[in-house]
Amino acid sequence: MEFLRVKPRLYQQSRDAIWLDLHISHQLLKAHLDQTTDGASRKKLFISDSVNWIASLMKDAPNSSLLDLGCGPGLYAEKLALKGYAITGIDFSAASITYALASAKKKKLTIQYFLGNYVDYDFATASYDCVLLIYCDLGVFSPAARKQLFRKIYQLLKPGGLFIFDVFTSKYYQSFGDSTAWEIEVGGFWSRKKCLHLQKNQHYVNTNTYLESHYLIYPNHYKEFFIWDTVFTPTELKNELHQIGFSSSTVFGDVAGASYDEASTTFCLVVQK
């Protein structure tokens, strides 16, 4: 149990990944589809507003292609496909991609889905008019990995293409404090089998990074899941993106085009290659 006493290094990867755990990945799929919470995906009404706003930023729908990074079960992809865009989605979760493929087939929608980690996935010579990274996924990456992803997205975009993404701000975590908790888990979100579930929340002092650690202790083994999140200001990310080569950027309060102010818990950047 010594591992419980050692604070993980900043951005250290956990032994296990929630997207690859068979039980948790199916629980996450349920959360994506749950309309009573915004836990994994935002609710349908927001997604509809978001898709309409994204479409307002685009040109010539029948001739435009979009790449949805971390597409989940295809909630955005399907609505964008119905508007006439050529959609490609990629996600690390086999459960989500299996659902997305079946749903698209049932609705007779032409959407290309890939199973894989979009950070290192080889898209070959593909290029897109727009790349989406929605629901604050960017915060999980270390600064080096984030810059690597920015460079990859820049290469995937056509000249004049748009990169649209959102992140959390420090306001989202203003009530977050270091804490520990435990419970016996069986048949819940984290585990089908009975185990001791330990959770630790930690803010890394002098950084804008937060860690939610989950340990599942079984009689003969344990599982470990780290959920990192870094928060940003618009200026920080604009500077990084401009260094990569993006030409312009506009800030909004969310991915439905709301106005941004200092009280916003999220912001969205629309940047152009």
Say what the pLDDT of residue 76 is: 98
Cβ-proximal residues to 147 (8 Å cutoff; 6+ apart), any chain: 240, 244
Say what the pLDDT of residue 145 is: 96
Query: Which pLDDT band holds residue 156 (cuts at 50, 70, 90)?
Result: very high
Is 121 exposed, middle or buried, given 0-12, 13-18 or 19+ CB atoms closer than 10 A? middle
Say what the pLDDT of residue 32 is: 96
Share above pLDDT 70 across residues of the chain, in percent, rounded to a whole number:
100
Which range (52-66, 95-109, 190-204, 208-222) has the least confidence? Answer: 52-66
Average pLDDT, the chain: 95
Question: Smallest Cα–Cα separation from 85: which of 128, 47, 31, 37?
Answer: 128
- Distance CA(61)–CA(198), nearest Å, equals 48
- Of residues 35 and 76, the one with the higher pLDDT is 76
- pLDDT higher than 90, residue 186: yes
- Distance CA(219)–CA(196), nearest Å, equals 9
- How many CB atoms within 10 Å of residue 106? 8
CA atoms within 13 A on the CB side of 40: 23
- pLDDT higher than 90, residue 16: yes
Say what the pLDDT of residue 63 is: 81
Query: What is the pTM for the complete model shown?
Result: 0.96
Say what the pLDDT of residue 74 is: 98
- pLDDT tens-digit series, residues 224-253: 999 999 999 999 999 999 999 999 999 999
Q: Which residues of 148-174 are buried (b: 16+ CB within 10 A; e: fewer)?
A: ebbebbbebbeeebbbbbbbbbeebbe
* C-alpha pair distances (Å), 16 with each of 180, 216, 270: 20, 11, 33
Say what the pLDDT of residue 179 is: 95
- pLDDT tens-digit series, residues 253-263: 999 999 999 99
Q: Determine the topology of domain 41-169+233-272 in CATH.
A: Rossmann fold (3.40.50)
Query: Taking every pair of C-alpha atoms in the chain, what is the biggest distance, in angstroms?
Result: 58
3-class SS letters over 116-127:
CCCCCCCCCCCC
- pLDDT higher than 90, residue 8: yes
Is-contact 249 273, C-beta < 8 A? no
- Distance CA(228)–CA(111), nearest Å, equals 30
Helix (H) or strand (E) holding 50: helix 44-57
Question: Can you give the residue ranges of every domain in the chain?
Answer: 41-169+233-272, 172-229
- pLDDT tens-digit series, residues 64-112: 999 999 999 999 999 999 999 999 999 999 999 999 999 999 999 999 9
- pLDDT higher than 90, residue 59: no
Q: Which alpha helices (H) appear in 130-187, and where do they start and end? A: 143-156
Say what the pLDDT of residue 4 is: 82
- Distance CA(189)–CA(101), nearest Å, equals 24
